[in-house]
Every structure is written in structure tokens, then in C-alpha cells.
Amino acid sequence: MRLLNIILLLCFTSISHAENLYKSHVSIIKNDSKNHQYLHMRFEITSDNLLKIEKIDKHDFFLDGGQFEVILNKNRFPISAPHCKGNIILRMPWSSKTQGGIEKKYAVYQSLEKIQSGKKDKLTITLELNPYVEKSGNSYELTQCNVFFRTAHGQYINNTEPLNAQ
């Protein structure tokens, strides 16, 4: 019995250590605008961290301005979310048809569907961490269970460069 307890303790410690290592390798890029600092990061979505993608048909997708949600495994997300009881909700914000960009959002959505169905291995995206992130010691943590795809002026932006550099 004692040997079993030791083995279980080692397994738990290894899993916890692996999750901490996963969370320690985060590169957050700061971009300043006139009145605000934006925090961005690259993130690789895989079948390991993608739990669920909202099902939307193409017509409704365009009607809804390209807005959709993805549920990510909190334990496989590289930023801790100590106040989050559930998993992480990744949101693609709404865009008006006049802003354009919905086609690009739909391509992202289709890639995520392929990951969930096992037809694609991964997709690297760019996240906008504001407003639900804060500095905690030498790292960052989410204050809520939400993160967003990086967007500007209705367009999905899949890089961490300042907008004026593009």
C-alpha cells in the first residue's frame, strides 16, 4: 500500500510539474498604442487543448459577423487562470460586413473544425489577452476565463507586430 501511495504521489508531482513547465514557456508581446498597451501571444491549437468548437453553418457564420467561440482546456493553456472554475473560452469578435474580414475568420473556423475532427494537427493563432490578463510577479495570469483572437478594425490579425508596422 505504501508503494502505491509513493507511485501515485510521483505521478501527480510529474503531471503537476509538466503543467507548470507548459505554462512557463509563454512569450507575451507588448504593443503600445496612443493610450493603451495591448498584450498578444502566439498559441498553437491542437487536439490536446481544443475541447469544443461551436457548430455554425456557413450562412449563419456570415450572418453573425464571423463571431464564434472555442473551448480550450484550462490545464493546457500556457497562462494560469486561478479564478476560472471551468475551461478557457476563446472568442472571435463580431465584424460588420462593411469591415470585411469575415472570409479570413471563416478559414480559421474551418481549420479549427478540422483539428476537432482529426483531419488537421494544429493551427497557430494570435491571441489578444486584454482586458482579462494582469501581471502577477514575474508572469501573467488571466483574471477571467476569456481570451480573444487578435482583431483590429474587424479584421483577424494573425501576428504580434504593432498595427502601424503592417
pLDDT tens digit sequence for 34-58: 888 999 999 999 999 999 999 999 9
pLDDT of residue 147: 97
pLDDT of residue 99: 82
Q: Is the pLDDT of residue 3 over 60?
A: no
Cis preceding linkage at 131, omega within 30: yes
Domain boundaries, the chain: 28-165
pLDDT tens digit sequence for 124-154: 999 999 999 999 888 999 999 999 999 999 9
Can you tell me the mean pLDDT for 106-123? 98
Distance between CA atoms of residues 124 and 93, nearest Å = 18
